[in-house]
Amino acid sequence: MINGFRRKSLSRHREIRVPVALGAADDRLTLWASPGEYPVYDSYDYDYMAEDKVCESAYESALRAVSAGRTVLDIGTGRDLDWATLALEYGARHATAVEGMESTAVLARKTLEKSPYRDRLTLVRSWSTELETDRRFDLCVSEIIGSIGGSEGAAAALADAHARLLAPGGVMVPDRCVTMAGGICVRDIVPDLAFHPESLPYLDRIFASTGHPFDVRLLLSHPTPEALLTDHAPVETLEFAAGVTVEAVETAELTVHTAGRIDGLLLWINLWAHPQDPPIDALATETAWGTTYLPCFDEPVDVRPGDRLSVRLGRTLSDDGRHPDYHLRARLETVTGTHHGSFLSTHHGRVFRSNPLYEEIFSLR
């Protein structure tokens, strides 16, 4: 769930060198490589996520309501065993915390050694989809939600957990996640169409983890709702409590409300930790979840109020069986004609410099 918008300096060891355009190192609207889907976390990242009081409050409210007397499965528990620990604080009988990344599991073991709940908390180094157990859990909690809700593999992991690991009548936290989309022009709102310098260590680690460069998903730092030129609508709906669909296609019809130019979509999540609580809105609230930019058109298209943007976003599992690839198609109807666009956003595919925007950001000025 990390968006990487932080000021701490990081080592910049380069394992795969790709020329990139660099923006200024300040808090203006800038582009970042999206790191949440990859095994690139470090202690700084966990410190950053630990400061997200919006997320903490939402999960605390949900776990306070549902934990008492239950057995708990915490998927992607992270360094600090946060949600397993919180569930135990609110009366859970036992928690099993699962962590797939070895480097994070090592840190989690150190946390467990100091935990007052270590006699009721079991840590397992495994991906949840590979967890072998005869136990069925009363409560499944996870924070494997990306800046596009399913981008970190939540659909595959939580569909498996719901079908195979959750007891009848069991509870899922979070309850649901909806990714919203609206039309923007990134070229008009980002002063420098370039990577923020502090995002480069993430970019290097992502490429090292996949073994090759590719068109990484782009996070846009600190946008506001005023950046949108259209209304917004869901393009990915994940109903965890009902048993989420792993692969799907969703469509949205957007209407332009502000004159300007459109070259792509801004995506952000609404996350319900508990069905009776208000959602976390990652565009309206300062939180560790970022907003994703997906390009639609090679060049910006002039729009005016009343123009229509039709969007189709499909998700299919990549060959790792966990993370989705996203297939975007768009049709923009304006007074000057109809404009068609598309974009393939892969988790780790070899699509590289696939359109003018990526040509520009993966270049030296």
Q: Are residues 144 and 116 located together in one domain of the fold? A: yes
Same domain, 234 and 327: yes
Total residues found in the chain within this entry: 365
User: Using 50, 70 and 90 to split pLDDT, how confident is the model at 1?
Assistant: low
Sign (positive or negative) of CA dihedral 99, 105, 107, 108: positive
pLDDT for 49: 80
Do the Cβ atoms of 302 and 334 come closer than 8 Å? yes
Specify whether 170 is located in the same domain as 309: no
293 with 355: CB under 8 angstroms?
A: no
Residue 286 lies in a domain: yes
The answer on 321 and 186 residing in a single domain is yes
Same domain, 166 and 311: no
**Is 194 domain-assigned?**
yes
Domain for residue 250, yes or no? Answer: yes
Confidence of residue 13 (pLDDT cuts 50, 70, 90): very low
Q: Looking at the structure, do residues 235 and 98 belong to the same domain, yes or no?
A: no
Residue 300 scores a pLDDT above 80: yes
Q: Is residue 213 assigned to a domain? A: yes
Amino acid 30: pLDDT: 85
Is residue 25 included in any domain, yes or no? no
Q: What is the maximum alpha-carbon separation in the chain? A: 68
* pLDDT at residue 323 in the model: 97
Torsion angle, alpha carbons of 107, 113, 117, 122, to 10: 60
Q: How confident is the model at residue 8 (pLDDT cuts 50, 70, 90)?
A: very low
Instruction: Quickly state the pLDDT bin for 286 (edges 50, 70, 90).
Output: confident
Instruction: Specify the DSSP class assigned to residue 225.
Output: G
Range of the domain at 354: 31-36+178-361
Nearest-5° angle of CA 335, CA 336, CA 341?
105
Indicate the pairing of strand 301-303 with strand 94-99: unpaired
For 140-152, how does the pLDDT look when each residue is reduced to its tens digit (9 = 90+)?
A: 999 999 999 999 9
DSSP class of residue 199 equals: G
> Quick check: is 49 in a domain?
yes
Task: State the residue for tokens 């923007």.
Answer: 184
Q: Which residue has the higher pLDDT, 365 or 344?
A: 344
The number of folded domains in the chain is 2
Residues 144 and 291 placed together within one structural domain of the fold? no
Alpha carbon distances (Å) from 23 to 190, 199, 211, 332: 10, 10, 25, 30
Whether the pLDDT of residue 237 is over 70: the answer is yes
* Domain boundary pick from 152, 175, 198: 175
Within a domain: 7: no
Residue-level pLDDT at 16:
56
Quote the percentage of the chain above a pLDDT of 70.
92
The pLDDT of residue 328 is 98
Same domain, 203 and 104: no
- 142 shares its domain with 185: no
Task: Among 173-182, 199-208, 299-308, name the one with the lowest average pLDDT.
Answer: 199-208
Q: Are residues 220 and 341 in the same domain?
A: yes
Q: Quote the pLDDT of residue 12.
A: 32
From 154, 175, 196, the end of a domain falls on 175
Q: What pLDDT does 51 receive? A: 85
Q: Is 47 helix (H, G, I), strand (E, B) or coil?
A: helix
Tell me the mean pLDDT in the region 54-62. Answer: 97
Instruction: Return the pLDDT at 17.
Output: 54
- 52: CATH: 3.40.50.150
Beta strands in the chain (DSSP E): 31-33, 71-75, 94-99, 121-125, 137-142, 166-173, 176-184, 218-220, 233-239, 248-255, 260-262, 264-272, 280-281, 291-295, 301-303, 308-317, 324-334, 337-345
Q: What angle do CA 277, 155, 183 make, to 5 degrees?
A: 75
Answer with the one of 110, 145, 175 that is the final residue of a domain: 175
Domain match, 348 and 233 both: yes
Mean pLDDT over the full length of the chain: 91
**More confident: 195 or 305:** 305
Interior angle at CA 291, CA 288 and CA 297, nearest 5 = 165
How many separate helices (H) and strands (E) can be counted in the chain? 8, 18
Residue range 124-172, pLDDT digits in tens:
999 999 999 999 999 999 999 999 999 999 999 999 999 999 999 999 9
**9 falls within a domain:** no
Lowest-confidence pick of 21-35, 45-59, 329-343: 21-35
Which token pair is 360?
Answer: 């520009």
Q: How far is CA 210 from CA 95, 204, 207, 213, 323, in A?
A: 32, 10, 5, 8, 13
Q: What is the pLDDT of residue 365?
A: 39
- The verdict on 132 and 201 lying in the same domain is no
Give the integer Cα–Cα distance in Å for 167 and 150: 23
Banded pLDDT at 5 (limits 50, 70, 90):
very low
CATH code for the domain in which residue 330 is found: 2.70.160.11
The answer to whether the peptide bond before residue 201 is cis (omega within 30 degrees of 0) is no
